Every structure is written in structure tokens, then in C-alpha cells.
Structure 1
Amino acid sequence: MDRPMDISAPGAPHPDDDGFPVAATASLQEGRSTTLKHGDTFALFDHAGDLGGGPEGLYHDDTRHLSHLSLWLNGARPLLLSAAVQDDNAALTCDLTNPDLPAGGGLEAVPNDLLHLRRSRFLWKGACHERLSLRNFDDRPHRLRLELRFAADFADLFEARGARRERRGTLHAPLQERDHVTLSYTGLDAQRRQTVLRFDPAPTRLEAQRAIYELTLPPRTRQAVFIEIGCNREPAPCTARQAFGLALREARRAQRRDATLRAGLDSSNDIFNETMRRAAADLSMLVTETPEGPYPYAGIPWYSTAFGRDALIAAWHTLWYSPALACGVLRFLAAHQATEEDPATDAEPGKILHETRQGEMALLGEVPFRRYYGSADATPLFVMLAGAYLDRTGDLATLRVLRPNIEAALGWIDRHGDTDGDGFVEYSRKRPDGLLNQGWKDSHDAIFHADGRLAEGPIALVELQAYVYGAWRAAARIFRRLGDPLAAEALDRRADALRLAFDARFWDEELGTYILALDGRKQPCRVRSSNAGHALFAGIALPERAARVAHTLLEPDSFSGWGIRTIAAGQSRYNPMSYHNGSVWPHDNALVAEGLARYGFRRQAAKVFSALFDAATYVELRRLPELFCGFPRRRGQGPTLYPVACAPQAWAATAPFALLGACLGLGFDAEEHCIRFDQPVLPRFLERLTLRSLRLGEGHLDIAFHRAGEEVGMQVLHRSGGLQAVLRSG
């Protein structure tokens, strides 16, 4: 990602940095904002439902369309009672009351706590819809002045997160009508962006930056005001009140439709059930419908856009739960696959997209991310996911359509990935302000030697070789199913050869694990890292190495008690508050746990699952964040949060699904029309678990698991379509 600034840095970005950090001038954990998202629109509100501090705002297509929104009653700010996002993330409700309101300005005094204000809002198709209800609980009427103040700065998202621009476009004078105001801006890219605020009923007075209602509220009665804030769209031919109702019905229908495409689960642990419901809701909120199908945007606030690597991993995590998501991701990335060489965007034929942006700075080239290909691992991960999707669904029709893209990705690995012909895939950026490191740990200081020296490229990452191995194995399975056994056999031979060469160059007996990388001079970066666990995940590790790698990953210097650290304590650049050099990332842990399970270490995978679940119990909304700090676990205390971690974040939200699948040994055999559970383990916090509507082809299963000591039993509760369930016990 175009990463946040490392909070261990002394201030300004490092001179070798990628140049597009998130300024760590304020913590997202302090007075944490409430998040809503739909499609290409997201919003960060304070707990009272207002906007106006730090990164808060209503954003659309990487532009902040509303930077200020505040509610006033008789010239005072209402007092917050409570605020809550619905369990399904669909809407935000804020309950407020009046403070003591003194007499003045022609208004009588109102004692505190007699007036109740409820703000209910949601996002739908480029607009924020709000119903503001005001209720008088007094036994006498009150004359009130209700005021909404608003402003739009039309800041590019990169500006909102800390970038400075020498020049900006033109803010236009607001246009006022009886019931709406239009705020607009023409950027240096010549695009006009506008925000239209509509009110129903029409305010008593509507000005350029405020709407004022003068009203008398009888005792024990309520009055509602509806507000629609549209981004780059013309108002619907109806009132804001009608638009609220229509959009709400559409949103609910869409949620019900999407729910039918996913498996369900419940367990004996109510907190786990809450955690999984939140994870599912976060995933639903982050998924955006594209012409190619559903696609999970990476995270809010800074990554609410299409990232290649993030979506591939999120889709991998949820293959058993929602295979349609993987199909959408594969189709979207195939449609945006590079077809020509372009150093300005790090594009090469066959390469898979890293990131795309729609804001003014991206369109002008002030940041390189309009359509950017600066990740080396997304391309082999694309092929891996295609193979896993076929294994999961048996959908040969989609794979036939994707075959040219798969072949192009394999061609990129051969022609552009291995720049020096040594059999390993390396990366180096093509433009000086592109991402210096192009694996998932893309901080400027994430790849280093044992003495702390930064590695110089081209760099061959340990996990990148593992993904290439996985891609060749996946492509072999795909081609074999598509009737091309010769191509499949050739790919399997290449994978076998890479596995041996990888072991010879990346295994380090003294470390007890695989090295982090080879630098541009083929010198090993002898660092103990979580990256080595990805060798288990992709299957490149020789079986005789797996136990040592597992043991090393779960030693106290690597395992914090909340999960596996990115870098082990004691390594030269270890810092538990660093973005990539000592923190704990849920998605990383999930991939490592899948690797542990792959080699038979399912109880160790359950240990990782338990640690992350425990962390979720301490976090607001039971929502796993992008990352948290790697400090050791202390009795009676939760994990230390990272100040600018995104939440929700797609691959963090999906991590519990991957961890559960790994512990259950869950696998699919589309040809045999069978779902398999290989030596399942339930983590210590689960006694019973039920999976519902677990689908394969036209059939589905409801299955219950129960733990008795160390053993796990299974019972099929319901089946359809001739689908079989097979349990292999230890």
C-alpha cells in the first residue's frame, strides 16, 4: 500500500521512503471516528454524527465532498447520549439531548434533557441520507432554532491524509435554492466536483453554509427533518424524505440478496458470534459492485479503493464462505491487467494491478496511483487464487475465460519477474517516487540485513518465491482440468525445481527458519520474520523443514501472545510500534496459520486463532484492525493499538474466516461433489460450532461440530443436492 508513516520515525518521511505516507500527527484511536461506506463513497463521523476534525468527512471517488457538518440547537451544541453503528454496518444512529439553553435572541430558556434528537443516516449510491428527529418531552411547547452548518473543501484524499500541494483548483461560490445548496470545485484536472445538500422540509432560512429552522414544538410531539447530501450526482426527482425511504428499501433488499450467497455460522461462544458477525458486516460494507462483480476495497479511511494484493488475499480467506467474491476479484483484476510496459506506473505485460485511484492528484500524476502496478506478489497470487477458486467451485467456464490472463501472468513471471535469470523473482521500482518495496511489507525499511542495513534491490522476497511456486502448482491444476496435460506437467516440473533451489538459498539452519530475502547482490537478509510462514502457506517448504519453521514462529520472540510479529523481537530493526518491523497483522497471521495447518500443525494454527480472537474481544465493535503493536501480552490488558491503523480493513476482517477454515481442515472436491474436514480442531474458546448453507455446486450442507477433550465430532444436520461431507480424524 501507499503506506502510513512509521510512528517510530522522528518526523518527516525518510529520504528513501515512497513519499506518500499518512502523516502520524493524530491517532485514529483518539475519539475514534464512526465509519460508513457504500460503493465509492465513505464517511468518517464523530460520535455525535458531526464532521470537522482531522480526517473526518464525506468522501467520494477519493475527494472529500463535505469537510464540515455540525448541529446546533438554540446556538449550543447538543449533548451526546450514545451512538451506535448497526450490527450490519448499514446505518449510524446518534442520540443527543439539549444542554441548559439560556434565554436570548427571542428564545426562552430550556432546561437540560427535555429535548431528544436522533440522527439516523446511511450511505447509498453516492449520497448520504439522514433523518433528524427532534422530540419534546416537556409538558409545554418550546420555540427552537435548529441549525445545520456545513462546508466542503474538496480536498484530495492524499491531502486529507497529510500531503501538501503547491496549487489547488477553484472553489466556486455556493448556489442556493429554496430547499438545496450546491457546493462545487473545479480541480486542476478541469473536472468539476459538486456536493448538493437538500432539505425537507425547506429550512426557514437557507444560506451558503448553514440551514436554519425556526420551529415551535408542542409538548410530547416530534418533528423530523430529512437531509440528502449527494456527491457528483443530480438530485432525484423527489423530496429528500422520499429519497431516504427509497434508498433505505433498496439497501435492505441488496443486503438480503447478498446474504443468500454466503455461508452462515454460529457457536457456543456468544462473543465469537459477535466477532464473526462484525467481520461479515465489515466485509459486506467494504465490497463494492463493479462491472466485473463484487470487489472488496482495502480499508477505511485511506485505502477505500481497489488494491490487487489485498483483494486477492481477502478473497482467498473467504473462499469457503463466499466464493462469488473470488470470482469478482479475478474478473476485475483480469480486466485491469497490464498489457504494455510503462515505467511511469511500474506496468509490464501480464502484471496484476497494485492500486487504482480516482482523485484529482492521481489524475494529474501528482501521485502515481491512478493505475499503479508496483507490487511483485499480486501477479502470482492472482494465479494462486484462480486455482483455488477452481478447486472450490469447479467453475471451468470462468477459468476458460480467464485462461489468457493466467497465461499472461505466468509470462510476466518468466519475462519480467526474474530479471537476472537466476530462477528467483525479484522487484525494483521503475520510477523514483514509486514504492521502494513491493511485497506486502512495503515500508522503505521493511527489508533489511541482520545488522540493520537496508537491502538494496533487486530484492527476492521469501514469500514471493513461495507464491510463484504456488502459482505454478495452481496453473498446472487449471491446465490439467482444461485438457492441457503437457502444459500442466511442465509447470509441475518447474515448481519441483524451484522448491529445491529455494531450499538451498533461503533455508538458514542457524536461524531455524527461512531468511527474509536475497538482496541485489544475492546476499541473504538473515532476519527472523513472519514472511517465512508464507513458505508454509504456499507449500514450497520441504516437509522436513516445516516443524522447525512452526517452532520458530511460535517462540516468544515471534509470538507476542496476541499473534505472530512481523519481525521477531531482538532483530536489529525490531520495534513493536513499527508498521512492518515488529507489529502484528491479522491477515499475515491467518496466512501463516493456513500454512501451519497445511503441514499438519492444526493445533498450532488454533493457538494463533485463539490469540487473535482474544485480541478482538478487547477492540471496539470486536473489529480486528489492520494491525496492532507487537508488545508482549500482559495479564488483564488488551493489545496496544496502532495509531493510524485502518478499521475496517478487508484482509483483517476476513482473517477469522481463514483461521476457522484452517482449524477445520476445510476442503472442497468439486469433481467428487464432496466437502472434506481433515483432522479438524476447535480452538479452546469453542465447544460447539455450526456451519449453515455451506455450498458446493447445486448442493448445500448444514454441519455441527462439537469438541470432547481433544477430539472433534461432526454431525450433518441437513444436506441437499447429493452433497457429501467426509471427516478424516487423527
Structure 2
Amino acid sequence: MDDAYSTQLTAGESVEASGLEQLMALKEGDTFLVADGWGDMRGGADGLFAGDTRALSRWVMSVGQLRPSRLSSGVSQDNVFFSCHTTNRPLPPMGGRSAPAGVLHIERRRFLWGRRMFERVQMTNHGVEDVLLPLSFEFGADFADIFQVRGTPRPRRGTIHPPEMDGRRVTFRYTGLDAVERRSCLAFSEPPARLTATRADFMFSLPKGRQVELFVECGVDSCEAPDPTRWRLNAIQARLAMRAKRRRGATVRGPRSPRFNDWLDQSRADMALLTTDLPTGPYPYAGTPWFSTPFGRDGIIAAWQMLWLDPSLAKGVLTYLASRQATETSAFQDSQPGKIMHETRGGEMSALGEVPFGLYYGGVDTTCLFIALAGAYASRTADLDLIRRLWPNLIAAADWMRDYGDSNGDGLIDYQRGADTGLSNQGWKDSEDSIFHADGRFPKGPVALLEVQGYAFAAWRALADLGERLHDDRAPEWRMRAEQVRALVEEKYWMEDQGFYAVALDGDGQPCRAIASNAGHLLFTGLPSAERARKVTKRLLSAEFRTGWGIRTLELGQARYNPMSYHNGSVWPHDTAMAAAGMANYGERAAVAEILSEIFDAATHFHLRLPELFCGFARTPGEPPIAYPVACLPQAWAAGSVFLMLQAALGLSIDAWTGAIDMADPVLPDGLERLLIRDLTVGDATVDLAIQRVDGRSVVIPRKARGQISVRTLR
């Protein structure tokens, strides 16, 4: 993610001090909410956000002036509901005896729908006497921009107007420096006994054995009167919408592996949570809480991971990115005509140009990946209608690769940020210290990253294939360009003494000889020769890279290696998955299945939800993987990793042009004896595939084929 605002602990800061270890997130559309394990928001790195603006910055519940004792809390597996179960501490005397601790059950349950938070507080008296229950909420709305929340200073802000109170309702207003008035409104189903601009106090009479409920809504722009009916109807809509997203495309199940199924379900639910249905189609937002917005690279890779199961994501991503393609040159935005966006934001600071991320193009790889995904999507679906509609965008992207992406004319795609406000490193490893020479020196620009050349190779080949189908006479030229890129990479990046590729070339054309996982992405594109791919695979599978939980981003012993760093020795599930898929391209199956098992083992220690990254320490028997304290969770390309690795282990490829599904030497991971893929669609045909282990080999059995489709097992 962006080094301009990636979250990392500073020296000496503890996990507890960071305040992030308990944060739980909900998301719906462009609205998301971050709160602690009690459901409280205290104005730190939390709150209710809409349009990259914090609409509710403080929301803290107390019982008898004290925080209740938490029993449990969490987010439902479908990611719709947050709930927290608490009990009371001793209550102050209210005209009689004090209620003892532990007699009241207080449940907070909330969800998001229609740009608003719905919350229900359910209070049950399990004691032997009637209770007077004092319940209070502190609240506030600072309308901070998301970049301000993440630490970017602002010398000036707009005007926060005094809250307006109306019985059981409080309205907050802020007029920004962009002259836009932003509103939010907080409403209660019962009138508080006392309501101020920052606090609501209630006094509930709770007879023994009885239950009372309080409903709360916080909406952006407007307020409705909350009640049980509104709660129920909106909760049904939220759950049905999430269920519909989870059911898109084919499904995968391990019939006799409950935990593996739970991992698949959680990963699918996380992808559904992060997917927002835009006018251009579904788009997987990068991650919550701080990257809940369309990112170019992240969206493309997440859609590619899911392509074999659900092509609709790729269609939505391609269509959206085409609509945001750059048409002019801007150093501030790092844009040139034809370039595909890196990120878009909607807050006040972006609108004012205080940060460049309103529509930012500082990703050197996204344009190449855009073309490559279009080619992969067409092979998966044979949807030439979409390709024809996107053809001007694909040609413009190719023109950017030719005219702007290669700034020094050496035939390689490179980058050097246009303004100091932009990203200094513009590949997926975009932290400031992620690209360096073998001795740790940072390279002078422009920098030509290894994996980006692989993406360019894949893009030129995809464009040539599509051009041939569309009878474009430029197709031979594009195929020739792909081979030119291949030759340049093999000549300039290969280090014979290391049996590996350099991570980048610097501005002088000298290789940055650091040994990094970027070479796994090169395998993913199919650029290396078979002999060199075998050498790279062997090294990626060595103990210097492989932790037992996945593959490190940087080899053990390299300069700047740090297993606790963001990019220099940590494990990123999507990076491991792309390396595994790359190995599978060259026939490696058994090791890919082993890596899939290792990542599954890691997932079991993260409640079956893979984080953005975790630390790259070697696996120790009986001990869990070590978390990276402020990793995004969930994140789209982490959630999609299991599906890409599963496809790689099965050797599964789909050619919609011929209506064929090929399974090349499939291997099931250890502990998984059977796998069932349901409703795998190719064109107008659908088939179920049962894969099971028989005499040590994985056998594929097609079932319920509907339409013309062929399934071939290749050995």
C-alpha cells in the first residue's frame, strides 16, 4: 500500500499504545466503520466514515459511568453484523440497593446499510431484583479527512458548526475549505433523560427477567426515527445483499474438511465485503479500514485471483478503470495520457489538492496489468463484446507503455515520481526502503522493476492475441514487442552467479542485485525460460525464502532484511500466491500444494482471515505466526490468495474460446482428500468438478455438465 500513509509502528511504540490491535471493521458501499472490541469509537484511528470523511468520531457507551465488562465480541462470518456481549460492573445505588456485577446482559449489535449505522442495545436483567439501569453515550463528529486521521497534518480546517439537538436527535454540520457542507445525524428510538451536544443519558427501568431495547441510527446527510421495524427491514436487506455477492460465480468446497471450508467461506465473505457494486460493475476495494476505495493494482490482482471462479469482478474492474484512464499529463497526479489510475479518493483534502490521491496515477505496473487482465478475462469468457468496447482504452494503455512508460528509451518500463507529494516507489512494494542494491544503497531513478517487465511482457502478448481476434494488423508488432521485453529481461536482469533475477535496474542501467520475491511475479507472467524458472523456483522454496507460513518478500541475509518490516522480509499472502501460481506455470504442483497448506495453517491462527501481511519469522513447532501489528484486515488480495493457490495446485486453466477446462497434473494439499467445484461456467455451459485422491493421485470427475464443455486431465 501507499508509503504516503501506510500504517507502521514507530520505534518504541507498543501494540497496545497503537490502539489498533482490537479494531473491528464493517463496510457497506463507500461507508465503513472502525471500532474497538466494545464497539466504541474514541476519535483515534476509528470512527464511521463516508466518502473518506469521518462522520462520527466519538461513540462511547458506559453503564453506570463505567465501561461494562466484555464477555465476547466479533463480526459475523458473513461480515454483516458486529456484536459485543457485556455485563455490568456494580451499579451505583438508585434509591435502594446497588445491583451487583454480572446480573445484566447488555448486547450491542450493529450493521451498516444505506450510508448509515444501525445499532441495537439489548439489555436483559438476569438478577433477582428490579434494576434501574443508567446508560450513557458520549458522541461527536469531527469530519476529519481520512488522510488527517492517518496522520497527515493540516495547517487549516473548515468550520465545525455547533450541533443541533431536537429531542432524540443530534445533527452535526461541517463546512469544509472546499465550500462543501457535510452533515451527519444521530438519532435514538427513546428520548434521553438528558441530551447535550456531546452526551445522551438514559435511565431504564429493568424488571427482573425482563428485557428492553434501544435503537440508534447515525446517517450521513439525513436522519430517520429508529425503531424495531426499521432495524429488522434494513438488517434483512443488508444480509440479502451480502448473500447475493457471496453467491456470484462458482463455489469450492472440501466435503470432509470443515476448517478448510470455513477458510474458503471466510475468504469468500471477505471478498464480498470489500466488493462494492459501482455503476460500472462490481469492484473489490483494496482493504479496510484505510484502503476502502478502488485501487488499480489491488483491484486487478484480486479480480485475477477470482477470475476462474467469478469473471464478473474482472469485468467490473476493467470497465471502471477504463472510465478513469488518464487523458493528460500532470506531475502532481503522476499521470500521462493512457495511464491507468493507482487510487482514487473522495475527501476534502483530495478535493483541495492537499494530497494527490483524489485521482492518482503513481503506479508503474497498473497500466500493464490492465491490458494483461483484459487478455486473461477474454480467454476465460470469450467476451469479445467487452473487449471491443474497451479496445480504445487498451490501445491508449499500450501507447502509454510505448511513449511514456519507457522514459529513457531502453525498452523497459520504469518510474520516477513526478512530484515530492507522490510515491517514491511505484511498484507493489511501495514503501520508501523496499528497492535497493545488494549493499543497501537506494537506486537513482528512473527505476525499472523486474516484475513490471513481466507484466509488460504479458500485456504485449495479450494485446497481440486480442488483436488477432479483432483482425488488427498491429498484432504482429505487439507480439514482437513482447519478445523484445523477454530478451531484455533475460539479458539485463539475470544474475548467473546467483541463479536468480535482480529486483530492478537503476537509472544507470545497473542491476539492483537484491534477492527478492519479485521474481515470483515474473514466473506468474511466464516470461523466464524453463531452465531459469527451475532455478528461481528452487531458491524461492529454500529456507532463506520459505518460512513455513509462506514466502518472504526478501531473502534471509539480504541487506535491509527485517522480518518485522513492511516489505523487506515479511510474508504477504498475495505475493506468496502469485509466486506459487508462477511455479505452477512451469509444472510445479507438489510444492504449490505444500505452500497452500502452510498458508492455511497460518490462516487458522488468524481466525481464518488472512491479514495484509505478517512477520517473516521462521515457523517454530507449536507456535503461531507472528502478526504484523497494524496490517489491514481484511484485504482483498489476501482474501483472494487461497483461490489463486488452489487453482495453481489443481493446474486448472479455462479456454472459453474452445469451451475447455484443463487440469494439468492436479495435486490436492495435505489433509484434503476431496474437493468439489460447483457451477463452473464456461460460456453458456456449466459443470461440477469433483477432485479426489485415489492411490496417491488426484483424479478429476466431471459431474452435471450442462451445455457443450470438455474437461481434460493432462499428465
TM-score by shorter chain over 0.5: yes
Give 1:242 shift. 3.5
Q: CA deviation at 1:53?
A: 6.1
Q: Does 2:539 match 1:552? A: yes
Alignment-mate amino acid for residue 134 of structure 1:
M
AA aligned opposite 2:688 = D
Secondary structure of 1:32's match? Answer: coil
Tell me which moved more, 486-495 or 37-46: 486-495
- Structure-2 separation of matches of 1:319 and 1:126: 29
Q: 1:84 aligns with which of 60, 74, 84?
A: 74
- Relative to structure 1, is the Cα distance of residues 420 and 107 closer, same or farther in structure 2, using a 3 angstrom cutoff? farther
Counterpart of 2:373 in structure 1: which amino acid?
A: L
1:164 to 153, 165, 171: 153
Q: Is the 8 A contact 2:9 2:630 kept in 1?
A: no
CA shift in 2, pair 1:74/1:361, >3 Å: same
SS of equivalent residue, structure 1 residue 174? strand
User: Is 1:93 the counterpart of 2:80 in the alignment?
Assistant: no
**CA pair 351-27 structure 1, distance change in 2 beyond 3 A:** farther
Q: TM-score scaled to structure 1, two decimals?
A: 0.95
Partner of 2:24: 34
Deviations 1:679-702 (A, max 9, x none): 111111311111111112222222
Deviation, 1:6, is: 8.1
Offset, 1:24: 8.9
Tell me the SS of whatever aligns to 2:617: coil
C-alpha deviation, 1:77, in angstroms: 2.2
Match for 2:202: what amino acid?
Y
1:152 aligned to 130, 141, 155, which one?
Answer: 141
Deviation at 1:528, TM superposition (A): 0.7
- Quick one: structure 1 residues 156 and 30, their matched pair in 2 at CA, closer, same or farther if it must change by over 3 Å? closer
Pairing 1:17-56 to 2, within 5 Å after superposition: 31-52=21-42, 54-56=44-46
Match of 1:2 in 2: 2
Unmatched 5+ stretches in structure 1:
12-22
> 1:192 deviation in Å?
1.6
Residues 7 and 631 of structure 2 are in contact (CA less than 8 Å); yes or no, is this contact kept in structure 1?
A: no
**One of 421, 430, 439 as aligned partner of 1:442:** 430
The answer to whether the Cα contact below 8 Å between 1:107 and 1:144 also exists between their aligned partners in 2 is no
Contact 1:180 1:198 in 2 (8 A): yes
Aligned to 1:189: 178
- Identify the range of structure 1 (424-433 vs 603-612) with the bigger mean alpha-carbon deviation: 603-612
Deviation of 1:656 (Å): 0.6
* 1:126-275 → structure 2 map (5 Å cutoff): 126-231=115-220, 233-236=221-224, 239-267=226-254, 268-275=256-263
- Among candidates 553, 575, 592, match of residue 566 of structure 1: 553
- The equivalent residue for 1:18 is none
User: SS where residue 120 of structure 1 aligns?
Assistant: strand
Shift of 1:159: 1.8
Q: Alpha carbons of 1:605 and 1:47: their partners in 2 closer, same or farther (altered >3 Å)?
A: same
2:372 to 384, 391, 414: 384
| CA shift for structure 1 position 600 | 0.7
Partner of 2:351: 363
Partner AA of 2:191 in structure 1: A
For the 8 Å contact 2:9–2:18, the answer to whether it is kept is no
- Is the aligned partner of 1:466 residue 2:460? no
> Aligned-pair distance for 1:654?
0.6
- What SS does the corresponding residue of 1:173 show, helix, strand or coil? strand
Say if 1:26 and 1:643, in contact at 8 Å, map to a contact too.
Answer: no
> Against the structure 1 CA distance between its residues 697 and 187, is the aligned structure 2 distance closer, same or farther, given a 3 Å change threshold?
same
How far off is 1:261 after superposition?
2.0
Q: 1:92–1:121: 8 Å Cα contact kept in structure 2?
A: yes
Which letter maps to 1:204?
A: A
CA distance in 1, matches of 2:524, 2:345: 30
Task: For 1:503, give the aligned amino acid.
Answer: E
Residue number among 116, 120, 129 corresponding to 2:109 in the alignment? 120
Range moving further from structure 2, 359-368 or 405-414: 359-368
CA deviation map 1:600-638 (0-9, x unaligned): 11222222212211111111x211111111111111111
| SS of aligned partner of 1:622 | coil
Q: Which residue of 2 aligns with 1:680?
A: 666
Shift of 1:211: 2.0
The aligned residue for residue 20 of structure 1 is: none
Which one of the candidate residues 310, 318, 323 is aligned to 2:298? Answer: 310
| CA apart distance, 1:442 | 0.9
Give the whole-Å Cα distance in 2 for the aligned partners of 1:156 and 1:261: 34
Q: 1:15: which partner in 2?
A: none
Q: What displacement does 1:27 show?
A: 6.8
Does the aligned pair in 1 maintain the 2:15–2:21 contact within 8 Å? no
1:509 lines up with 2:507 in the alignment: no
Deviation of the 1:377 alpha carbon = 0.1
Q: Is the 8 A contact 1:96 1:118 kept in 2?
A: yes
CA distance in structure 1 between the aligned counterparts of 2:173 and 2:81, rounded to whole angstroms: 27
Alignment check: 8 A CA contact 1:351 1:409 kept: yes
Contact 1:8 1:577 (C-alpha < 8 Å) held by counterparts: no
For structure 2, the 5+ residue unaligned runs are none
- Quote how far apart the aligned CAs of 1:8 are: 8.5
Find the residue that maps to 1:343 and give its secondary structure. Answer: coil
- 3-state SS of paired residue (2:454): helix
The answer as to whether partners of 1:469 and 1:499 remain within 8 angstroms in 2 is yes
After superposition, what is the alpha-carbon deviation per residue over 1:630-682, rounded to whole angstroms, capped at 9, x for unaligned?
Answer: 11111111111112110101111111110001111111121222222111111
Matched, 1:704 2:711: no
Alignment partner of 1:582 is 2:569: yes
**Residue equivalent to 1:498:** 485
In the TM superposition, residue 28 of structure 1 has moved relative to its aligned partner by 6.4
1:331 aligned partner: 319
The CA deviation at 1:296 is: 1.0
Aligned to 1:19: none
CA contact (8 A) 2:186 2:223 kept: no
CA distance in 2, matches of 1:430, 1:30: 33
Q: How far 1:108 sits from its partner (Å)?
A: 4.3
Q: How far off is 1:139 after superposition?
A: 3.6
Q: 242-251 vs 410-419, which deviates more? A: 242-251
Amino acid at match of 1:313: I
Change (3 A) 1:692 1:597: same
Aligned-residue offset at 1:205:
3.0
Contact kept, 8 Å, 1:266 with 1:690, in 2: the verdict is yes
RMSD: 1.8
- Give the letter aligned to residue 658 of structure 2: E
Note if contact 2:30-2:276 (Cα within 8 Å) is conserved in structure 1: yes
Question: Which whole-Å CA distance do the structure 1 matches of 2:467 and 2:21 have between them?
Answer: 52
Q: What's the secondary structure of 1:473's corresponding residue?
A: helix
Instruction: Determine the structure 2 residue equivalent to 1:632.
Output: 618
Percent sequence identity over matched residues?
46
Alpha carbons of 1:259 and 1:564: their partners in 2 closer, same or farther (altered >3 Å)? closer
Shift of 1:125: 2.0
For the pair 1:342 / 2:350, whether they are aligned, the reply is no
From 588, 603, 624, the equivalent of 2:590 is 603
Give secondary structure in 1 for the equivalent of 2:60: strand
**Which amino acid letter does the alignment assign opposite residue 544 of structure 2?**
D
Kindly provide the amino acid, as one letter, of the partner of residue 292 in structure 1: T
Spell out, residue by residue over 1:29-85, the C-alpha distance to the aligned partner (whole angstroms, 9 max, x if none). 864211111111111111111111631211111112212112222323221111121
Q: Distance in 2 between matches of 1:255 and 1:274?
A: 17
TM-score (norm 2): 0.96
Q: Which moved more, 1:581-590 or 1:51-60?
A: 51-60
Amino acid at match of 2:536: V
Return the alpha-carbon distance in structure 2 between the equivalents of residues 35 and 28 of structure 1: 16
Alignment match of 2:270 (pick from 277, 282, 286): 282
Measured after TM superposition, the shift of residue 96 of structure 1 is: 1.2
What is the number of residues matched between the two proteins? 713
Query: Cα distance, 1:245 vs. partner?
Result: 2.4
Moved more, 209-218 or 38-47: 209-218
Change (3 A) 1:709 1:192: farther
Q: Is the 8 A contact 1:576 1:630 kept in 2?
A: yes
Distance 1:609 1:198 in 2: 48
8 Å Cα contact 1:499-1:542 kept in structure 2? no
